[in-house]
Amino acid sequence: MAPTDFFSGLRKGVKSRLPQELKTFETSRGHSRLLKLHYGHSELHFEAWHHTGDGRLEIGLHFEGSADANQRAFDYFRERMVEVKARLPHAELEPWDRGWKRLYETLLAPQLDEFVMAGAVERMDAYITTLQPMVAAFLERR
């Protein structure tokens, strides 16, 4: 499956599965092998990214704002990892590139196909429904 078809299908699949109050996300595409979804704060976005070299698809929440804002988000979610892991048992929270942080997991994806898409839709839905209420609470505290 072509990456553009995969990520378009992923966006549509996630939107159809989310509860009504979470269907109004905005999207952006950085390049052909990723999809970003957010709720008005693009620096805190949900991302699906195909790591072709590793044959993995990353699903997660990325903190890509200023270094200080990223650290505050990291600290906020670190305090809630027991709650996060109860719903997302494979989620990992870690510092990442350029001062960014991420809360994510990866799925086996040597190629993009319908099987990978089904898993990605399910995981993206789980990440958004679990973490977006926490993101909203975090943003209210800022």
CATH of the domain at 113: 3.30.1460
Domain total of the chain: 1
- Domain with 58, as residue range(s), is 3-141
What are 65-105's pLDDT values in tens digits? 999 999 999 999 999 999 999 999 999 999 988 789 999 99
What are 8-35's pLDDT values in tens digits? 999 999 999 999 999 999 998 667 889 9
Q: How many angstroms separate the Cα of 130 from the Cα of each of 52, 66, 77?
A: 27, 24, 12
Mean pLDDT in the chain? 94
- pLDDT computed for residue 135 by the predictor: 97
What are 110-130's pLDDT values in tens digits? 999 999 999 999 999 999 999
